[in-house]
């Protein structure tokens, strides 16, 4: 399962999205304010694969942040969503 998170890390929605992803062993895609999860190791304790949408990352000036998060474009997201059995979100 793929969980889409568009809310910032300090919001109830953002926290809920990450918890559901963790509890269901799902991968996550960060977009909109969700890309702020990339900074300050806010994904600590999350073991799945995290992706972030390049356009939303660059828009917020986070392009230079080095993390384990994989940067993808919209094409990448559509391909993943088409392959995945289930997509949940956006939180």
Query: For binding to another protein (CB under 8 A), which residues are involved?
Result: 6-8, 10, 31-33, 36, 39-42, 55-56, 58-64, 74-75, 77-79, 81-82, 90
Of the two residues 23 and 75, which places its CB atom closer to another protein in the complex? Answer: 75
Of the two residues 6 and 26, which places its CB atom closer to another protein in the complex? Answer: 6
For residue 1, the minimal CB distance to another protein (Å) is 16
Residue 48: exposed, middle, or buried by beta-carbon count in 10 A (0-12, 13-18, 19+)?
middle
Of the two residues 25 and 50, which places its CB atom closer to another protein in the complex? Answer: 50
Nearest to 28 by CA among 6, 12, 11, 13: 6
Rounded to an integer, what distance in angstroms lies between the CA atom of residue 8 and that of residue 83? Answer: 26
């Amino acid at each position: 399962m793929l969980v889409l998170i568009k809310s910032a890390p300090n919001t109830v929605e953002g926290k809920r999205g990450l918890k559901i992803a963790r509890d269901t062993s799902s991968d996550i895609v960060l977009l909109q304010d969700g890309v702020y999860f990339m900074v300050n190791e806010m994904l600590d304790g999350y073991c799945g694969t995290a992706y972030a949408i390049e356009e939303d990352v660059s828009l917020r000036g986070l392009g230079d942040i080095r993390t384990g998060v994989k940067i993808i474009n919209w094409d990448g997201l559509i391909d993943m969503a088409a392959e995945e059995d289930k997509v949940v979100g956006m939180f």
